[in-house]
Amino acid sequence: MLIAIAIYKYEQNNASNLINAKPIRFSQRYNGLWACNDLENLEMNTLPKITDKLNSSSILHTKVNDEFHYIEAHAQENILIAVCSKKRLEKSELFYLFRNVKHIFLKPLSVKATLDDVIQNPFGYTGKDILINKIHQTNAEVIALTLVAIEKTLERGEDIEILREKSIILCENATLHLKRTKELNKCCRLS
């Protein structure tokens, strides 16, 4: 489904209103010694046409040859996120895909994923927000640990109740033993 994903740092050229984009991170289907640049079509045909009119609320999408190119701008970070796909992506897929790629770029330690992971398993990144999913997963782990701790505390509470009952019986036996000892000591005393 996905051919390549790239994140570009961009600067706007005030004279021509065109955007100068430089790749800072990318991933593609085939990596290795003989791999070609899957982003070449996007970089040669789509990126040069981007003007300052692309804003954060819109996604530029074009079809070049047999590829679909999607680009989203993030003005605060001065980055463009570009996706090349063999199939047309739905709006909801694009929403999650761009959000997740942005999370991977801005919060890599929180999401613990890479662009390569997105290329290898795109369906895991087009149907959910991975940062929110990670938070839900962490919450579930905390809830499980809390339940285990509560169960152990309750078990200790039962043990404490048994110890309390045994200590009462021991105390009663000690009192009876003391009384019998005093009685026996009275009869053995020489006066």
Q: How far is CA 53 from CA 5, 6, 20, in A?
A: 22, 20, 14
- Tokens, residue 73: 């701008």
**22 in helix, strand or coil?**
strand
> What pLDDT is recorded for position 41?
79
> What pLDDT is recorded for position 17?
57
Give the model confidence (pLDDT) of 32-51 as tens digits: 666 677 788 788 878 777 76
The low-confidence residues of the chain, meaning pLDDT below 70, are 12-19, 31-35, 51-57, 187-191
Instruction: Supply the pTM of this predicted model.
Output: 0.62
Residues 64 and 152 placed together within one structural domain of the fold:
no
Residues 82 and 161 placed together within one structural domain of the fold:
no
> What pLDDT is recorded for position 50?
72
Bridge partners of 71, per DSSP, are 60, 82
Per the CB < 8 A criterion, the answer to whether 5 and 81 are in contact is yes
> What pLDDT is recorded for position 33?
60
Residues 169 and 189 placed together within one structural domain of the fold:
yes
Query: What's the domain range around 102?
Result: 2-128
- Tokens, residue 40: 């070449």
Residues 186 and 158 placed together within one structural domain of the fold:
yes
